[in-house]
Structure 1
Amino acid sequence: MDRRDTIKNFLEKIVVNAGVGRLSGQPHFDDKLLPQILKDLAAITGQHPETSTARKSVAGFKVREGQIVGLKVTLRRSKMVDFFERLTRIVLPRVRDFSGLSLKNVDEAGILNIGIKEHVVFSEIDPEHSPLSISLGINIVPKGRKQKKAIDWYREMGVPLKKENKK
């Protein structure tokens, strides 16, 4: 069995999230910023993002009901495998001051949660033509929901996880 089949058999899905709540209050958000963010996220994932809107208004956060607050892409099958390969082999090594992911990023169900501060670390994004920096949340969901098994598999597949801290 090759690496792509192993990834496809172990992972259920990868979810990529981008919060745009702070940007939605800026002028020209709907006609200039949002299309650029959608284009960048589609280039990164190979799939058109789904928008998430606020369910109710919250004055303290300056959010109105129906306002776009986030974007989400759920990857499965071959797009999931391609994204996982690019993430582990190209993107994570390009992150500035990166020394590995903490084991705390893997929860009890074996889901690996990764936060990326700037989306320009993806090779699909040209920093010259992308005027804003978006933070991304990446959730890698395995089929078998066991933490220890998932950590072993992530290490085997080349995900840079730090060693356990022994006291």
Structure 2
Amino acid sequence: MAEAKVYIPRLKKLYREKVAPELFTELGYTSKMQVPRLVKVIVSMGVGEARENKKLLDAAVGDIEIITGQHAVKTKAKKSIANFKIRKGQEIGARVTLRGNQMWEFLDRLMNVALPRVKDFRGVNPNGFDGHGNYTLGLTEQIIFPEIDFDKIEKVMGLSVSIVTTAETDTEAKSLLAKLGMPFRR
């Protein structure tokens, strides 16, 4: 019986064959388990106008599902904020957590297809690290993804992409993402 070919995303293959060995020698690790790797990618969209128009929240959920290919979860306010007219427990956003092959595929599409479509793109901000090796990127409009049909969107909304890594420091994480192809601004 013939053995079935297992699909491996292009970026994951690049990480295993090229990036991980380079990081191992470059950063002087003693064990292969010390090499930083990607854990998960969180794509979220805050919809402040959802308190007046529930249709916008449903549209945001639909857009995130189209972009990521995975079911989105509606997020609720953790506490009431009077100035923004938000009550605790009110639905105000949407979020998706990607792991495994879907995470690798999404990052590949983000770095090689979506980001170059940003108007006047000069690279992503290299200061988006949190001090623990995680990177957060804010996008101003969801229409940079080719999956989104411009004629069918309710409103142009921004979204946030958080990349969680096992890196101990920001320099290790930046090196990992740069070798994977993240276009950092000089």
TM bucket, shorter chain: 0.7 to 0.9
- 1:12 corresponds in structure 2 to 39
What is the TM-score normalised by the length of structure 1? 0.86
- 2:51 corresponds in structure 1 to 25
Q: Secondary structure at the match of 1:103?
A: coil
2:75 maps to 1:52: yes
Question: In structure 2, do the counterparts of structure 1 residues 148 and 67 end up closer, same or farther at CA, with 3 Å as the change threshold?
Answer: same
- 2:63 corresponds in structure 1 to 40
2:127 maps to 1:104: yes
Consecutive unaligned residues in structure 1, runs of 5 or more: none
- 2:153 corresponds in structure 1 to 130
Matches within 5 A, 1:49-128: 49-128=72-151
Q: Is the Cα–Cα contact under 8 Å of residues 11 and 105 in structure 2 kept in the other structure? A: no
Q: Any runs of at least 4 consecutive aligned residues in structure 1 with deviations exceeding 4 A, and if so which?
A: none
- 2:29 corresponds in structure 1 to none
Q: Secondary structure at the match of 1:55?
A: coil
Distance 2:89 2:172 in 1: 41
Q: Is the Cα–Cα contact under 8 Å of residues 141 and 156 in structure 2 kept in the other structure? A: yes
Q: Which deviates further from its counterpart, 50-59 or 149-158?
A: 50-59
Q: 1:58-116 CA deviation, whole Å, 9 max, x = no partner?
A: 22111122211121111100110010000000011001111012221123222111000
Consecutive unaligned residues in structure 2, runs of 5 or more: 1-7, 21-35
The residue type paired with residue 161 of structure 1 is F
Question: In structure 2, do the counterparts of structure 1 residues 86 and 54 end up closer, same or farther at CA, with 3 Å as the change threshold?
Answer: same
Q: Secondary structure at the match of 2:151?
A: coil
Distance 2:72 2:166 in 1: 23
Q: Secondary structure at the match of 2:43?
A: strand
Q: 1:3-36 CA deviation, whole Å, 9 max, x = no partner?
A: 4142798100001110012x1133xx33x33322
The residue type paired with residue 47 of structure 1 is Q
* Number of matched pairs: 159
Q: Secondary structure at the match of 1:153?
A: helix
